[in-house]
Amino acid sequence: MAVPLSRLLSLFLFAASLCAGPETSLKLVWSDEFNEKEIDKKKWNFGDGVRIVDGQLSLEILPGSKPMFWRGSSINSRGKYSSKAGYIEASIMFLQTGGHGCGFGIGNEDGRAPSASMGYSNGGGDSVGLGLGIVNEERGRNLSPKENPIPRDASYSKKFHRFGFQWGPNDYRWYVDGRLAYTIRISDKIPATPKPMYISFSHNGLPEAGLLKNFKDPQMGPEPMRVDWVKVYQ
């Protein structure tokens, strides 16, 4: 029996709604697509090892003061841009080689109670983890799920995926490719933060103070972390 066209359309719209991220109901208020030749210093704080390559932000590991020793790189919007409760998303290609790590995070400017920081981390390969840092009136707490809620995906280091944060008075949420990955509810022990969040990306140094003994090409260093764009919705 043929299915009516109206029924097929309803099923399609329902399926599309399941894949839609929170940005579909919000307004884009800030973004950086990294399409210029140079990083916008009005938006970002950064040091050596961060540059724009082929329309993407590249966070690299740099040679240190001794052969085969390496230094990390980072970039953030602290003091230049921060967002009130809403949704922040970035298109990121993480690392393939293990032994070093990178991350995407947001956090309150002052770090004083009540404050929070949300993060994604990758140490190479097909696993991406998440965490929540909370500072309340008593002490700071780092909260991570006992089991990683983000599905392993061999393409995290081979193509770009969307990673997002959403927070408000009721909960903290993490999204991957528009799908809700994890939620932590606000409670007496996990306070909401009314403060704006700034954005950060980092590519961390290597073990043993940056020494990577078995890297294939010690003259070139590990591959960079790449960010195609970052967007803020409210």
Q: Give the pLDDT of the chain (234 residues) as one tens digit per residue.
A: 454 545 544 443 334 444 568 988 899 999 999 999 999 999 999 999 999 999 999 999 888 777 667 889 999 999 999 999 999 999 999 999 888 899 999 999 999 999 999 999 999 999 999 999 999 876 788 988 989 999 999 999 999 999 999 999 999 999 999 999 999 999 988 999 999 999 999 999 777 666 666 666 666 678 999 999 999 999
Quick check: is 207 in a domain? yes
Q: List beta partners, residue 71.
A: 62
Quick check: is 21 in a domain? no
- 227, burial (CB in 10 Å: exposed 0-12, middle 13-18, buried 19+): buried
Instruction: Give 213's contacts (C-beta < 8 A, 6+ positions apart).
Output: 68
Alpha-carbon span 96 to 102, nearest angstrom: 11
Quick check: is 17 in a domain? no
Quick check: is 40 in a domain? yes
Quick check: is 181 in a domain? yes
CATH number, domain containing residue 54:
2.60.120.200
Quick check: is 111 in a domain? yes
Helix (H), strand (E) counts: the chain:
2, 17
Q: Number of structural domains, the chain?
A: 1
Residue 136 has which token pair?
């309340």
At 188 the pLDDT is 84
Question: Is-contact 195 168, C-beta < 8 A?
Answer: no
At 141 the pLDDT is 86
Quick check: is 9 in a domain? no
Question: Is-contact 161 155, C-beta < 8 A?
Answer: yes
Quick check: is 22 in a domain? no
Q: What residues make up the domain containing 195?
A: 31-233
Strand residues in 14-146 grouped as ranges (E):
28-32, 45-46, 50-53, 56-59, 62-63, 70-71, 73-76, 87-93, 102-108, 115-122, 129-135, 140-143
Find out whether the peptide bond into 222 is cis, omega within 30 degrees of 0: no
